[in-house]
A and B are shown apart, each in its own frame.
Chain A
Amino acid sequence: MATITPLLPPAAGKVSDDKASAMAALESLLAIRFFEEAVDGMFARGLMHGTMHLSIGQEAVATGVCAALRQTDFITSTHRGHSHCIAKGADLTRMMAELLAKQTGYCRGRGGSMHIADAKTGNLGANGIVAGGIPIAAGAALAQKLKKTDNVVVSFFGDGATNEGAFHEALNLASVWDLPVIFVCENNKYGMSFSTAKSMKVEKISERAAAYAMPGVTVDGNDVDAVYEVTKQAVDRARAGKGPTLIECETYRHKGHSKSDKNLYRTKEEIDFWKTKDPVGKFETLLIEKGIISKEQAEQITENVRNEIRNAITEAQSAPDSDPAELLSSVFRAVN
């Protein structure tokens, strides 16, 4: 088992003003970054098979959002879901084991990168179908309402998902039923290769909230504080029974869509520009500048997270391979 400090909200104000909250957020950003750099490297060396979708460059979205959540809150995630999974508190070893096709992986080797779920931390699953998780999030939120809990559900999805019918059906249901759900769009500008400039006429994806009479806000998705602040407002609103919010987080993926991407649709200048807005370095620098942590503390956190990722890889590699013998008996849950 390899874990990082669970995210926690600041006592008041910004994440970067509260030492405990800020340090946990930095750990989360680094863990997502190092986890994905590690799997990217293993894939390149032929140590990992299949495909995967990396969120390098987008780490502040999952981190800022999940800092505003409790463990009993739920999320639905996407094909680009490692960040959500880690920020919600998943065990890095079980994630790594899944990617390495091991029996101890979250999906016992049946799902891989695109399908990690973790019931313990309220992660209802990454999803290989664009927008597939959005109606599911609405349903999980409906259940909270029926059960009279004050838990909320966050649905993560990309810009491309907002052109799917599932997005619109789910937002409408959430709106007419005042469901405690927060729709978080990670707008990284491209649905695979197709830019948002070509795929939609609206300037901001958050404008789409107007069609469902819910608040829609656009925020700098590379800024943990900004993401946390709008999420907290949306979560407070949802917990109070006032219904859903659509949050658009503007961000960028440094890597290609998946492992087959040759980046023909983006310029080097554009990618380099966004690297100057790197959310991980930006947050670390902010904390040091504000005197929340020292440079040495930042280095120590970085080293600790690197070690946890190394532990995750070592532990996962030593686990048994996933077992074909149990396949047929795993399709259905046994009836009592």
Chain B
Amino acid sequence: MSERIITYAEAIREAIGQSMESDPSVFMLGEDIGIYGGAFGVSGDLYHRFGEERVRDTPISEMGIVGAAVGAALVGMKPIVEIQFSDFTAHAMDQIVNQAAKIHFMLGGELSVPMVLRAPSGSGTGAAAQHSQSLETWFAHVPGLKVVLPSSPMEAKGLLLSAIDDPNPVIVLEHKLLYKTSGHVPEEMYKTPIGVSKVLREGKDLTIVATGVMVSRSLEAAAQLSEMGIEATVIDPRTLSPLDMGPINDSISQTGRVMLVQEAPKHVGFVSEIAARISEGPAIYSLTEPVKRLCGMDVPIPYAPQLEKAVVPQLPDIVAGAQELMRGV
């Protein structure tokens, strides 16, 4: 039997649809997710399948939307919020950071917020600085939020199903460039555990840890490197909070070299946390070269295609970065 191939957007839609079929407390709310089908087409036909009550179009009102999801979650619903662009979470930060993240802890543990907040993230669409950011570090820095970055259709469905079932607020940052990419996705409801890193490829020469769209880009780079005789391990943490360092440390102990790849700006970025944890643990003694970070430039995302490409790591940059690490420069 051949593997079923669907897109990342279809995988997300399937996870939501299956959850809504099996659990009446699951519902969706967000801007233009109804008859329009979502700005990136993710909700698609869900409105027609489940109706306007459960696939709920909202006014353009991000703080209100997230606040409503928090309130609904507090009394037993499982809302899935779609924020049209992750940049717009800035409008909703009080509800995300001061409310959703803190309620379970701050109020003594009786209440919890089983909310999923999905948002398209990242650059590459020519949408410029207010529609292209990678803000995962904002959320990963707040205790009480779980943060996942699905890097493939398979992960998108499995991580989302885990997020929907999680009794805590989970931020799912989907990458816009991945929505139309395809891959094998099982039809049944399966869960990818939150808080478990995944080794996608094993190689003896260096360890590449990449997040979001940089995962598939790093796998492509690893294939090219292999042709040049450099064998790279590629690891996708999948979940930024909580972070599973086990496979990363294990791999470094084998390869002795590590390159950390993210789209977000380098300064105080998420991979800096990985670098810090490597430096705190035994893995640092295995390193034969300093940790290398390959990140976005510390600038807002620009509009012009040549400028936009210049500010985030591209495939040749990852290949070149790995070669430099191997040469010790």
Which positions in A face B, CB cutoff 8 Å? 74, 76, 98, 105-108, 110-111, 115-119, 124-125, 127-129, 132, 134-144, 146-147, 153, 165-166, 169-170, 172-173, 176, 330-336
Contact = CB atoms under 8 A, between A and B. Distances in A.
B66 A135 contact: yes
Contacts of B94: 129, 132, 166
Pick the most buried of A107, A111, A135, A333: most chain B CB atoms within 10 A of its CB. A135
Given A132-B95, A135-B95, 15 more contacts: A76-B71, A106-B108, A118-B110, A119-B111, A129-B94, A135-B71, A138-B67, A139-B69, A142-B68, A146-B54, A147-B77, A172-B59, A172-B61, A331-B105, A332-B167
Interface stretch (B96-104, B120-128, B175-183, B319-327): B96-104
A134 to B, nearest CB: 7
B107 A106 contact: yes
B77 A146 contact: yes
Contacts of B107: 106-107, 110-111, 115-117, 125
Given A166-B94, A172-B59, A172-B64, A110 B71 contact: no
A115 B71 CA distance: 15
A177 to B, nearest CB: 8
Contact of A138 (B71, B77, B104): B71
A156 B259 CA distance: 52
A309 to B, nearest CB: 22
B168 A332 contact: yes
Interface in B161-205: 165-168, 194
Interface string B60-88: 01011111111111111101000000000
Given A139-B69, A173-B61, A331 B108 contact: no
A128 to B, nearest CB: 8
A169 B61 CA distance: 6
Contacts of B229: none
Interface residues of B, number: 44
A333 B169 CA distance: 10
Contacts of B75: 74, 124, 140, 143-144
Contacts of A330: 104-105, 109
B106 A139 contact: no
A279 B25 CA distance: 42
B229 to A, nearest CB: 43
A138 B27 contact: no
Given A143-B71, A173-B58, A335 B166 contact: yes
Contacts of A144: 75
Contacts of A119: 110-111
A172 B61 CA distance: 9
A157 B45 CA distance: 39
B63 A117 contact: no
A141 B64 CA distance: 13
B53 interface: yes
A117 B110 contact: yes
B168 A140 contact: no
A165 B104 CA distance: 25
B111 A143 contact: no
B68 A333 contact: no
A117 B64 contact: no
